[in-house]
Structure 1
């Protein structure tokens, strides 16, 4: 028996030795076969021509290739490299399971072009239509395979010289020329020349990298003391951005028990961004850091709650998850631990909260947000926002002095960036109407239409916000807001009409401060609101509106006139389209006003006796009548073409 085993072992050894010798003798033929296999695959799958001018084996595992190119048919060349030297196993080429340990590349480029004929890289973005697999994707396993494959293609030792990435997007050009990159003994150094239409920069990437151990510690910065300006996106998106340096650490990639853990740290210093949709001027973040812990399982992808994001001195513990175990569920949890209020204010990005600059506060606060959306059960949305304060107090206001609401002040609306005529909010204005002078039915009609729970809420309506999110997700667009009178007041008195992220964030914070620090009463807020909102073309405040439409004082308005004024608040300059050619209100308008009236009756804001004698249609008798499109020309009526002056 032992002799038989020895004999079999000897035969196997001879076969292996012979295979090795044959592989070495015919290694060039094997190389040619491997190249032809790749060329055929590229041609059939991507409709591209892959060429290698010259290829030869050096020793057992060394390969040297010259004049390599990849060109899509009927499009610009995608890749061209003069020289590639590497060491790999030929059988790995055949099987497609490559692991590159050494690499040298000289003189080449990758070129991404988009022109009137299309893009030269489109073929590589197409989905595999031949795949018919209906099995559920294992996110952790798939991600680990992809990461391993990519890292295996990154050599543990390499030297790259004069390699470029060229981008030409409809004439918008930018080039990244890697003059040199060297990775030796885990130490990485590189120099990149970046050229665009307006800038020429030198970038440096250095640090330590070990693709086999799946670890890295890299720093990305400018060759001098200047900031790195990000090219292309300014011309493409109108977005200006730059930063001092970026630090990237990859500390751990571990796959076990069907879970993938990816841990590391990313940080950025002196990050500046400018875009008209973000803010009216530069937004600057001094320092930001993300200590990330990604966790992937068979049916979920998440940022673990042990991760920490830091913006200057503000620390946030986020949890984000995409889960497909049963339904498709999106989860978001945000926790801001106990934070000093002043540290929070001074840590806000400069330029994003300009109305808070100079603000001083004492005390502390903490915050928790719990959000969950089930794609298959959208009405079960969870939105729970909890703000806890500890002796929180505003000591000094910044540019937005909320205290002015308690005194007479001058308000000026802004239309298309232009300041309108000044409106005095106080007794020195003959059109000013105090809270006590406002007709109760008018107050209730406007509140019913605009913000029914105004007298009870603290600036925000959680349920309305939830319904807004549900509606916007269902329609896949911004179809519904959740604005309250508090938010409208802050926007009108303290902020501009610009539609930017900055204004919206400031609006939310200022509303919270106003409503939760007893700065002024609800009655005073409503009084200011009624005296500043626009009620028509160049008509501000209820005092002017009552005269403009009905030649009355606010106290003299009847029920139907109050209902009419309540319905035009959202679009006051389009009031004339509510009327037909005879000067009477259209049917749909009357139905809308009856809807509000019935709501008021249902909620006990009106009695049935209040509606007696109110079936007579309203008559516009003030200057507003000249804006109506009435066909019957009256002797004393002239079509107005100019705004009414008060």
Structure 2
């Protein structure tokens, strides 16, 4: 196909040539004027920058010499930056910076070249002060200026643009020291002996703590397309982070870590960043996470991050890989108008053995070597609007398909089906070995335990025990809501199944890993029917702590009442259920004559009423056996004076009338400490006695007690007849 010829009159060509010529002449003239005044402009800009640093951030910036080197390069020497009343932050002996001319015309500063020789960046922390405090200092604003709403997507785009704009096309750095001194107790030094960018290829050599290690950060950079692919590794050894180990008692090392950014752009009004992150042979040792090293041989995440006007989100298109297993995470944090936390995990149906093999080494010690068949899939849905915490959503489901345990790992999860030795621990130390079986005279079969105790304890601790499969999601959901509102770990969500697994199969070290292992073992036992519900309850009743060195219902019934478990009355059963959360406080609940203190009566009525509604006890307006409980005479010599009071009966009601174990919590600890056992002090008995108080009763109280006593005697006589 031949294009038609376009004829342009010569006079128009001449006019166009004249216009272009005049425009070029103006550019040359303007450039010549600017070139002639560029030194003056540079002086003005440097003076303005130094004044701004001092005024806004209290920084003393000094530059020994500076000036243009070529058309677009600025050379500076003997630079120093010192925050007011702080240690020197930066010194640079020699530096040359080049900028791109064309973007500069539109107000964008893009670096074309950076050369730096002999520099130092020194961060010093002294008590609560550092020499980088100025970064957090905001400029004073006019109080009359209305606050403008920040669009997070625009902010992310601008920040990322600034980062990529500052990556030069060519770079050469020699002998640049970066060091951190944390109160003279921990420090780390990184000496970049060489770092170059040539044609987008990054190469660097970094000495860590003088001669401790040599690191390399190598890869490819493409700032114009917002792409990078870099890897960190060490010569002949693992990459180690000594500062974390010295400061936070956390050991972390790995072979390589690789980061890749594939794209960053707006998508449907949100700013989307796509990339990946991978690590090889990661080792973590943190006492609050695990007592042993955790090793992750191979982990990788393909991530899509979305940043909207008021939220940050890891999209569900992301995938986390651990060996041959994978999961799709969804994490979202919304800032306004209310803070909202969302998390979803979806693991499609996968080979079960591949999932167990993907667990990091040292993570679940008791399951090490387990062999299974079939498939598993998992889903988690969590949503918390901080404005309405009671509406928290929590659903967690692990679904098996033809799943079966072929071989147990290090621990036989069916060992409690026959006689075994149980060792209780207190404060991290073993107390004594207890045989759970007929050879132990205190062992009591489930059928030989009074229903009064069985029903009372199940009512108080886990009323849906025979219906659930190890977990009560509603209880967990309510625990999350209560703990969030109270800003502390006030309420737990453990079932009897979880308490049994924790005590029989796991170590006594309170760590995050142990809690996760507990949950997984409970699922394996309950969903695969490895142990019957009746046997689980029988073992639980025979190992539960019920006093100072008192374990199991057989020891407890004889210790407090000189009875066998089958002879327990309703009142005695309710009392023994009451002491489970704080067993060491049991004797503080008795008067010197062996009767119970009055503050326990509401508890008896509460538990008794629930049992009566469920047909587990007859209705009793007098207190469901409260007045019948008598401590055996041999123990009364150890009782505290009647004037001593102890609040051991705070009733916190859960779903299904379930008591919550608030009494088991040490309120002096933080949430992190309670979860992971992070107290540095030696733990003490949590039973705390209040000072003596005036116990003189009013005449009205005395009359009420006499009426209750007469009513009780009449009922006893009536029942006797």
Work out whether residues 30 and 90 of structure 1, in 8 Å CA contact, stay in contact via their aligned partners in 2: no
Mean CA deviation greater in 472-481 or 283-292:
472-481
1:264 shift after superposition: 1.2
1:378 aligns with 2:389: yes
Quick one: which of 499, 512, 519 aligns to 1:488? 499
1:532 to 527, 534, 543: 543
Aligned with 1:36 (options 44, 47, 59): 47
CA-CA distance at 1:55 after TM superposition: 0.3
Counterparts of 1:288 and 1:219, CA distance in 2: 15
Which residue of 424, 444, 448 maps to 2:435? 424
Q: Which residue of 1 aligns with 2:518?
A: 507
Tell me by how many angstroms 1:587 deviates: 3.0
Partner of residue 366, structure 1: 377
Contact 2:572 2:625 in 1 (8 A): no
| CA shift digits 1:35-62 (9 cap, x unpaired) | 1111111101111101111101012211
User: What's the counterpart of residue 607 of structure 1?
Assistant: 618
Which of 184, 194, 202 is matched with 2:208 structurally? 194
Q: Secondary structure at the match of 1:436?
A: helix
Identify the residue that residue 114 of structure 1 maps to in structure 2. Answer: 125
The yes-or-no answer on 1:169 pairing with 2:161 is: no
Q: How does 1:407-486 map to 2 (within 5 A)?
A: 407-486=418-497
Partner of 1:141: 154
SS at match of 2:209: strand
Shift of 1:622: 5.6
- C-alpha distance 610-585 of structure 1, shift in aligned 2 (>3 A): closer
Q: Which residue of 1 aligns with 2:529?
A: 518
Normalising by structure 2, we get a TM-score of: 0.83
Quote the offset at 1:611 in angstroms.
6.9
Counterpart Cα distance in 2 of 1:579 and 1:106: 79
Q: Deviations over 1:132-153 (max 9, x none)?
A: 5534322221101110011111
Q: Is the 8 A contact 1:370 1:384 kept in 2?
A: yes
Quick check: 1:23 aligned with 2:34?
yes
**Preserved CA contact (<8 Å) 1:547 1:622:** no
Residues 569 and 117 (structure 1), Cα distance of their counterparts in 2 relative to 1, 3 Å cut:
closer
* Deviation, structure 1 residue 510: 0.3
Give the 3 Å change call, closer, same or farther, for CA 80–404 of structure 1 in structure 2.
Answer: same
| Displacement of 1:13 | 6.1
1:584 deviation in Å? 4.3
- The Cα offsets for residues 300-351 of structure 1, whole Å up to 9 and x where unpaired, read as 3211111110112220111112235764432211111111111111211111
Give the structure 2 partner of residue 642 of structure 1.
none
Give the 3 Å change call, closer, same or farther, for CA 147–117 of structure 1 in structure 2: closer
RMSD of the alignment, in Å?
Answer: 2.6
Seen in structure 2, the aligned counterparts of structure 1 residues 23 and 584 have a Cα distance that, compared at 3 Å, is farther
| Aligned-partner Cα distance in 2 for 1:416–1:57 | 71
Contact 2:592/2:636 (8 A) holds in 1: no
SS of equivalent residue, structure 1 residue 361:
strand
What is the alpha-carbon distance in structure 2 between the residues aligned to residue 24 and residue 601 of structure 1?
Answer: 97
The secondary structure found in structure 1 opposite 2:344 is: strand
List alignment gaps of at least 5 residues for structure 1: 633-646
Indicate if the aligned counterparts of 2:275 and 2:302 stay in contact, CA closer than 8 A.
Answer: yes
Q: Deviations over 1:154-200 (max 9, x none)?
A: 2121011111111000111110111110110111110111118xx71
Structure-2 residue corresponding to 1:636: none
SS in 2 for 1:512: helix
Cα distance, 1:473 vs structure 2: 2.1
User: CA 1:454 to 1:117, structure 2 compared with 1: closer, same or farther past 3 Å?
Assistant: closer
Work out whether residues 295 and 361 of structure 2, in 8 Å CA contact, stay in contact via their aligned partners in 1: yes
User: May I ask how many residue pairs the two structures share in their alignment?
Assistant: 629
Distance in structure 1 (CA, Å) of the matches to 2:128 and 2:347: 51
With normalisation by structure 1, the TM-score equals 0.92
Partner residue in 2 for 1:184: 198
Distance 2:342 2:139 in 1: 30
Secondary structure of the residue aligned to 1:616 is helix
Structure 2 counterparts to residues 108-257 of structure 1, below 5 A: 108-116=119-127, 118-128=129-139, 130=141, 132-171=145-184, 172-195=186-209, 200-224=212-236, 226-257=237-268
CA distance in 2, matches of 1:117, 1:590: 52
1:516-552 deviations in Å (ceiling 9; x for gaps): 1111211111110000011111111101001111111
Give the deviation of 1:276 after TM superposition: 0.8
CA distance in 1, matches of 2:364, 2:424: 21
Q: For 2:496 and 2:268, how far apart are their aligned partners in 1?
A: 53
**Deviation (angstroms), 1:253:** 1.2
Shift, 1:512, TM fit: 0.5
Does structure 2 conserve the Cα–Cα contact (< 8 Å) formed by 1:104 and 1:158?
yes
- Determine if contact 2:544/2:551 at 8 Å carries over to the other structure: yes
- The answer to whether structure 1 residue 292 and structure 2 residue 306 are counterparts is no
User: Which shows bigger deviation, 111-120 or 513-522?
Assistant: 111-120
* CA deviation vs aligned residue, 1:232-262 (integer Å, no higher than 9, x gap): 0111110011001011111111225422221
Aligned counterparts of 1:314 and 1:610: Cα–Cα separation in 2? 59
Kept in 2, the 8 Å contact 1:34–1:93? The answer is: no
Deviations 1:197-245 (A, max 9, x none): xx71111111211222211111111112x11111201111100110010
Q: CA, structure 1 residues 382+543, in 2 after alignment: closer, same or farther (shift >3 Å)?
A: same
Taking a change above 3 Å as real, the CA distance of residues 258 and 117 of structure 1, as seen in their structure-2 partners, is closer
Q: What SS does the aligned partner of 1:349 have?
A: coil
String of CA shifts for 1:384-440, please: whole Å, max 9, x gaps.
Answer: 222221110111111221211111111111223322211111111111111111111
Supply the distance in 1 between the matched residues of 2:447 and 2:338 (Cα, whole angstroms).
54
| Distance of aligned partners of 1:293 and 1:341 in 2 relative to their CA distance in 1, 3 Å threshold | same
Partner SS, residue 69 of structure 1: strand
| 1:317 match: secondary structure | strand
- CA drift of 1:124 comes to 1.1
2:711 alignment counterpart: none
Report the Cα distance in structure 1 between the residues aligned to 2:591 and 2:107, rounded to whole angstroms: 75
Question: What per-residue deviation string (whole Å, max 9, x for no partner) do you get for residues 63-90 of structure 1?
Answer: 1000111100111011111111111269
Query: Is contact 1:548–1:622 with CA below 8 Å preserved after alignment?
Result: no
Question: 1:532, 1:254 → 2: CA distance?
Answer: 60
Cα separation, partners in 2 of 1:179 and 1:615, compared to 1, 3 Å: closer
Q: Secondary structure at the match of 2:403?
A: strand
Aligned-residue offset at 1:597: 1.5
Of stretches 608-617 and 539-548 in structure 1, the one that deviates more from structure 2 is: 608-617
1:592 alignment partner, SS class = helix
SS of corresponding position for 2:414: helix
TM-superposition CA deviations, 1:542-589 (whole Å, max 9, x none) = 010011111111111111111111011011012233235665433332
1:567 aligns with 2:578: yes
State the alpha-carbon separation in 2 of the partners of residues 337 and 184 from structure 1.
44
Quick one: distance in 2 between partners of 1:25 and 1:582? 105
Alpha-carbon contact 1:285-1:312 (below 8 Å) kept: no
- Hey, what does 1:101 align to over in structure 2? 112
